[in-house]
Chain A
């Protein structure tokens, strides 16, 4: 019998992989993908909890997470395009103009 704990453990692993990727990678586009990975892990935890507790609210939460993620990706990618136009790079180490 697969229990809620198994799903939560898997979701924790996926979240951790995404978090490490966010810290390790330098390409801003891949950083966005790592954020998606983490959001997705959270969604898995929500749906698993929804299933095992017999509540629909977990699935609704995933919907709202999905909407926010879609908006975030759209705005974030537009920002990346705007930055690329002026700086010609998406390496986050080269985007340090605000550093004092």
Chain B
């Protein structure tokens, strides 16, 4: 028991360091392509956290959909537009210290709220043996949460139609 606890701590600390470093990289790096690659690393780290948290199915979906499909779309658009480096006005320099101060306040506020809340809540349900079992998740999605699940499909359809409409060329007489 002691051994697994120490291992869990080491895994948590290493992954947390990587997650924060890659998040800072995403935000701070000048080139948008490098930024996207840092974000891919960050998403993979969070997927590893999901594995640590007994959610293997969510972790796999995170890797396939987020780190895979969504980030490929990002990289594709960045390279297609050639928007690696934004030109133009350097922007309002005074915004940066203001944003940093506001971010510090935000993080402090969230941490305060989290640490004020009663953290040691008893487990509310009796979890099935592997908590993130795909069969359990699928069953719950199609029974208790069937309505949001169906609304999701409508949302995806709307997004798809919207993207097709937006991406159409209006050049020829339209």
Partners in one complex: yes
Which residues between 86 and 134 of chain B lie within 8 Å of chain A, taking CB atoms? 86-89, 91-92, 95-96, 98-100, 102-104, 106-107, 110-111, 114-115, 119, 121, 123-127, 131-132
Give the complex CA separation of A8 and B26 in angstroms: 21
Query: Are the C-beta atoms of B58 and A62 separated by less than 8 Å?
Result: yes
Within the complex, which residue of A1, A23, A33, A56 is in contact with B5, where a contact is CB–CB below 8 Å? Answer: A1
B→A interface (CB under 8 Å):
5, 8-9, 12, 16, 19-20, 23-24, 26-28, 32, 35-36, 39, 42-43, 46, 49-50, 53-55, 57-58, 61-62, 65-66, 69-70, 73-74, 77-78, 80-81, 83, 86-89, 91-92, 95-96, 98-100, 102-104, 106-107, 110-111, 114-115, 119, 121, 123-127, 131-132, 136-137, 140-141, 145, 148, 152, 155-156, 158-160, 162-163, 166-167
Query: Are the C-beta atoms of A20 and B103 separated by less than 8 Å?
Result: yes
Query: Are the C-beta atoms of A37 and B83 separated by less than 8 Å?
Result: no
| Secondary structure call for the B interface | helix
Which residue of chain A has its CB nearest to the CB of B57? A59
A26 to chain B, nearest CB (A): 5
B159 to chain A, nearest CB (A): 4
Return chain B residues, CB-CB under 8 Å to A2. 8-9, 12
A36-B39 CB under 8 A given contacts A53-B123, A90-B86: yes
Query: Are the C-beta atoms of A73 and B73 separated by less than 8 Å?
Result: yes
Q: Can you list 20 contacts pairing A with B, beta carbon distance less than 8 Å?
A: A7-B53, A12-B107, A14-B19, A15-B110, A21-B28, A23-B102, A24-B27, A24-B95, A25-B27, A29-B83, A36-B43, A40-B42, A52-B123, A63-B58, A67-B155, A71-B158, A74-B159, A81-B81, A89-B87, A90-B86
Within the complex, which residue of B43, B86, B110, B156 is in contact with A71, where a contact is CB–CB below 8 Å? Answer: B156
Give the complex CA separation of A69 and B46 in angstroms: 16
Which residue of chain A has its CB nearest to the CB of B75? A29
A→B interface (CB under 8 Å):
1-10, 12-21, 23-27, 29-30, 32-34, 36-37, 40, 43-44, 47-48, 50-56, 59-60, 62-64, 66-75, 77-82, 84, 89-91, 93-94
Within the complex, which residue of B49, B114, B127, B158 is in contact with A5, where a contact is CB–CB below 8 Å? Answer: B114
Query: Are the C-beta atoms of A56 and B140 separated by less than 8 Å?
Result: yes
B22 to chain A, nearest CB (A): 9
Give the complex CA separation of A48 and B131 in angstroms: 12
